[in-house]
Structure 1
Amino acid sequence: MNLFRRAFLAFSLALVLPAAARAEKVYVYAAASLKEAMDALVPAFAEASRHEAVVSLAGSSALARQIAQGAPAGVFLSANVGWMDQLGAEGMLVKGTRRDILGNGLVLIAPGAEGASESAPVGPGFDFAGHLAGGRLAMALVDAVPAGIYGRMALESLGVWEALAPQVAQVDNARAALALVAAGEAPLGIVYATDAQAEPGVHVVARFAEDSHPPIIYPAAATDGSGEGARAFLKFLGSAEAQDIFTRLGFATLHE
């Protein structure tokens, strides 16, 4: 092959290949309760694809507002369907990409690893006052953040929300509530079951019954304007490798 033909072929390939071969940086906005999952998924995704995932963690409500205001998210993983529904209604999601990928549970935690984790549900006669002993109940924001919304609903189902509300310490997300309890700054907290599993400085006092709150479902979707890398990340979430990571961390996997 002469020099001219070789140069022409290289030029022709350059016109065809860049869009398909170019690696993308995918900005993944994920609920704070997915921290350990994202820590494990990011390097696994990079190895399995040519793309790089950059993760932003926060409460689902804060992330949804950022996306609505134009933040450069490529994928949104919410800890409840409500915030995803809102972005969908505003035309901020790519049609056909939304999937329910995970389920979770809600637990009541206390400081210290010395207590044995309990599987019994929180019953109507649970002694919140005795366990709190004048302290605060750590919860995510009860009117905005999914963990707080679920927690409030669970307490309302037990008929104790109004009595406990003055003692609730509301924080930005479930991980912040977890940190308060782990540090001993709150004698009780309400978090996801996976949060409690991830923090050795707390133990589960009791679990909230599944019928005390709506199902805890994590949907994922590509956001408007995202590229091939976002679709690749969503596809990777359904891979056996990703499913194994989620299962190991205590999530129920729902992705088909």
Structure 2
Amino acid sequence: MLCAAGCGAQAPSDQQTAPQQQPAKPAETTLMVSAAASLTDALNNLKPAFEREHPGVTVTYNFGSSGKLASQIEQGAPADVFLSASKQDMDRLEEKQLIAKDTRLAFAKNELVLITAGSSPLALASFEELGGDAVKHLAVGEPESVPAGRYAKETLEHLKLWDSLSGKLVFASDVRQVLTYVESGNADAGIVYASDAAISPKVKVIATAKPEWHKPIVYPGAVVAASRQADTAKAFLEYLTSEKGKAILQTYGFRE
């Protein structure tokens, strides 16, 4: 009976149940995006949405004037994506084979506007009136490195005002600094993008430059040739030009 009971007992299994494997975490990747200063607010808004759809990816921005960012890339500064506020600066890198040419695309457009502080008492209604005595200091981006400054110079040259205003010009290192000069009252007026004016409650738009006064304001983007994560960089550009990306850009005053 004891034998039967003992023999009838179930023998322990020689095989242990294997623990369930945890799903592998996505590899951590930092994506460095060098972008024109005018894109600051739109891209900061886009960042969490992109990161949610791409687990493991952290987007880091380097904002500045397009000309200076292009120079940094020429000098070997780390960057995976370059988003420029002008065709000229992107052309420069393409000629030197510093971007992946097949990834280059235009993702936004903009307009040039004349602004004053919201509380300014200036009786100013147009670009043409800058030739009068009302404005003592006019803030613009440095034309050599800031696309907004380049477009401003083209506009003022078209209106035959550039030379006569030379003593009143206050040059800024990027378009956001122009905005700050006007907001703070350090300049009576300034020339910025419509998207910059749209994000500031402290300024008012006096006039919009006619398209024929300056070269088209088109924003090109591309993967930097030296990027070690070209696929992720391409994914970022694709997101930027997706319906979600376009909606974010339009919220901040950019146009298709």
Say whether 1:181 aligns with 2:182. yes
In 2: Cα distance, 1:40 partner to 1:78 partner: 18
1:80 and 1:216 in contact (8 A); partners too: yes
* Counterpart in the other structure of 1:219: 220
Contact 1:75 1:222 in 2 (8 A): yes
Q: 2:133 aligns with which of 130, 133, 157?
A: 130
Structure 2 CA distance for partners of 1:211 and 1:104, relative to 1, 3 Å:
same
In structure 1, which of residues 87, 95, 110 is the aligned counterpart of residue 93 of structure 2? 87
Q: Which residue of 1 aligns with 2:6?
A: none
In 2, the alpha carbon distance for the partners of 1:24 and 1:89 equals: 29
Which residue identity does 1:138 align to in structure 2?
A: A
Q: Is the 8 A contact 2:131 2:164 kept in 1?
A: no
- Residue of structure 1 equivalent to 2:200: 199
Q: Distance in 2 between matches of 1:214 and 1:202?
A: 25
Question: Contact between 2:67 and 2:144, CA under 8 Å: does it hold in 1?
Answer: no
Q: Distance in 2 between matches of 1:147 and 1:131?
A: 23
**Contact in 2 for aligned 1:103/1:217 (Cα 8 Å):** yes
Over alpha carbons, which structure has the higher Rg?
A: 2
Aligned to 1:230: 233
Q: Choose between structure 1 and 2: higher helix proportion.
A: 1
- Aligned ranges for residues 96-175 of structure 1 at < 5 Å? 96-112=102-118, 122-123=127-128, 126-132=129-135, 135-175=136-176
Partner of 1:39: 44
Deviations 1:195-253 (CA, angstroms, capped at 9, x unpaired): 11111111111111111000000000000132121111011111111111111111012
Secondary structure of 1:56's counterpart equals strand
Percent identity between the two aligned chains = 35
8 Å contact kept, 1:150–1:214: yes
Amino acid at match of 2:76: G
Using structure 2 for the length normalisation, give the TM-score.
Answer: 0.86
**Whole-angstrom CA distance in 1 between matches of 2:126 and 2:75:** 40
Name the SS for the 2:97 alignment partner.
Answer: coil
Using the TM superposition, give the Cα deviation of residue 31 of structure 1 relative to its aligned residue in structure 2, in angstroms. 0.2
Q: In structure 2, what is the Cα distance between the partners aligned to 1:100 and 1:172?
A: 24
Q: Distance in 2 between matches of 1:127 and 1:235?
A: 41
Cα 1:45/1:111, change in 2 over 3 Å? same
What is the aligned counterpart of 1:242 among 241, 245, 255? 245
Give the deviation of 1:136 after TM superposition: 1.1
| RMSD (Å), alpha carbons | 2.5
In structure 2, the CA distance between the partners of 1:130 and 1:97, relative to structure 1 (3 Å rule), is same
- Count residues in correspondence: 238
**In 2, Cα distance between the equivalents of 1:149 and 1:44?**
33
CA contact (8 A) 1:30 1:55 kept: yes
Q: Distance in 1 between matches of 2:130 and 2:106?
A: 35
Q: 2:32 aligns with which of 27, 32, 49?
A: 27
**Structure 2 stretches lacking a partner, 5+ long:** 1-14
Q: Match for 1:75: what amino acid? A: V
Q: 1:249 to 1:75 in 2, by over 3 A?
A: same
Q: Residues 100-154 of structure 1: CA distance to partner in whole angstroms, max 9, x if unpaired?
A: 1110000111112578xx9x8634xx2443330xx21101102221000000000
Q: Is the 8 A contact 1:136 1:187 kept in 2?
A: yes
- Tell me whether 1:251 sits opposite 2:254 in the alignment: yes
Tell me, in whole angstroms, the C-alpha distance in 2 between the residues paired with 1:82 and 1:234: 19
Q: CA deviation at 1:177?
A: 0.6
Distance 1:26 1:101, change over 3 A: same
The two structures have a TM-score, normalised by structure 1, of: 0.86
